[in-house]
Structure 1
Amino acid sequence: MAIYSVKGGVGKTTFAANLAWCSAQQAGHSTLLWDLDAAGGSAFLYGLEPSETRLAEEVFARERSPARLIQPSGFDRLDVLPADESIRALDAQLVRLGKRRRLAKLTEELSADYARIVLDCPPVMNELSAQVVRAADLVIVPLPPSPLSARAFDLVVREIAGNTKRHPPILPVLSMLDLRRTLHRQAQEANPNWPAIPYASAVEQCAVQRKPAGALAPQSPAAQAFERLWGAIDKKLAQPR
């Protein structure tokens, strides 16, 4: 499952970290959170840092097994594969290698040990994003609540459709929804069937406490919204492809 957006600041990393936690803790799946964003946010939210630098690119070059870089998250059944600075050069490396399904092959191998793999993707449109689409069984697209949300989603859909003949299902989700704001209400009214994650202090505290919302404040509206979203995602992933 890929968490993807063409722009930053939409809650992508928060989605990835929290949905991976739901997968492991609430659904009981062995889960890997793979950070493909050079910012390294997903690993940071679990209090982790890469053990060494410039190893991520070696995974894609087949010079190092991804299993050697995986770290336990501190929560049962949830591991993290952190990003490091070499991720910044990954797009050029993939173009140079000419292996259009390298990420898909790596995730297939890792699926022998993990029932669910969550990819925290960088906000780019390049060879790496194309490889993400080829690897994913489902793409989650966090979108800020605004009248332009549908337009932004259409841009993502066109990008994904342009990189594979049969693209995976794409699920838009309104992120940081604050119904006290008129534009946010209008966005929800315009897209009533889209799931939504509310704006909440529990989500902001994820980065401060370096823990997912479900561990910090399990009864908070945000934690419960992530739980409901994961339930729908898990049901979709369980369907025969």
Structure 2
Amino acid sequence: MAVIAVYSVKGGVGKSTLAAALAWSSATVSRRHTLLWDLDVQGAAAFLTGHERPHGKQAASIFSRETAPADLVRHTRWDRLDLLPADDSLREIDSLFARIGKKRRLARMTEALSRDYERIILDCPPVLNSLSDQVIRAADLIVVPLPPSPLSRRALTAIRDELVRNHKKHPPILPVLSMVDMRRTLHREAVAEANGWPVIPMSTHLEQMATRREPIGAFAPSSPAAQAMARVWTGIERKLCS
């Protein structure tokens, strides 16, 4: 089992889009039993896989062990892909972790879920707090989507600084340039400076994920953006299996 966290301290970078696409690739391309676990209170992962946002407030109760994860898991329309959705209770997750005082609670829970899942994809909120600490301790790989801009580079630096400052041992980071438009000089320069980072091109098909409510690989597998997502996933699998 491996845990892949899709994480950024900056919102609006295509994080949930990437998480949903990678989870779909894991389940349908690699044919692995996969859980897409939404830790972002916005609940985009559920939306992008065709589910409605839960009305209750149970997502955080998983961490206090009042609720079993299996009780909240939803099956998606794709074989081998399940969803653990977010809800409003995650707004209080920081105070919950402070109260229970368990720094590896998320890691322990993903270990328990390994009985049912080979890959767990975490769609993480854009925060630096106790939840991000839990994510870093649980993840085998952190995927960081970055639009090609100086502010995104600062976001990546913030993540790396956090890892060095608070985590002696931390998972590797995979930066991914997202929403790249090669017609723009700034974007071309960012790609040239990226040292071989994966690149996801700007695409109307990616925007259509929000209207079709399904990952891009499910409805436009031959599109350049879907092919780029597939290459990102292939690289992740190779890294995890090496």
TM range (shorter): over 0.9
> 2:27 maps to what in 1?
24
> 2:48 maps to what in 1?
45
Cα pair 2:10 2:155 within 8 Å, conserved: no
Q: How large is the RMSD of aligned CA atoms in angstroms?
A: 1.1
Identical-pair percentage: 57
> 2:137 maps to what in 1?
134
Cα pair 2:107 2:137 within 8 Å, conserved: yes
User: Any gaps of 5 or more consecutive residues in structure 1?
Assistant: none
Map of 1:149-188 to 2, 5 A cutoff?
Answer: 149-188=152-191
1:118 is paired with a residue whose SS is: strand
Cα pair 2:76 2:83 within 8 Å, conserved: yes
> 2:228 maps to what in 1?
225
Cα distance in 2 between the residues matched to 1:161 and 1:109: 28
1:234 aligns with 2:226: no
Paired amino acid for 1:178: D
Runs of 4+ in structure 1 over 6 Å off: none
Cα distance in 1 between the residues matched to 2:50 and 2:173: 30
Displacement of 1:140 after TM fit? 0.2
1:114-138 residue CA offsets vs partner (Å, 9 max, x unmatched): 0000000000000000000000000
Paired amino acid for 1:40: G
TM-score, normalising length from structure 2?
0.96
Corresponding residue to 2:75 among 72, 75, 85 = 72
Cα distance in 2 between the residues matched to 1:49 and 1:232: 31
Cα distance in 1 between the residues matched to 2:190 and 2:70: 42
Displacement of 1:159 after TM fit? 1.5
> 1:212 maps to what in 2?
215
Q: Describe the shift of the 1:140–1:19 C-alpha distance in structure 2 as closer, same or farther (beyond 3 A).
A: same
Matched positions, count: 239
> 2:192 maps to what in 1?
189
1:143-184 residue CA offsets vs partner (Å, 9 max, x unmatched): 010244433312111122333210001010100011011111
Paired amino acid for 2:205: A
Cα distance in 2 between the residues matched to 1:84 and 1:238: 33
Corresponding residue to 1:97 among 97, 100, 120 = 100
Cα pair 2:54 2:87 within 8 Å, conserved: no
Corresponding residue to 2:90 among 87, 92, 96 = 87
1:162 is paired with a residue whose SS is: helix
Cα distance in 1 between the residues matched to 2:141 and 2:125: 16
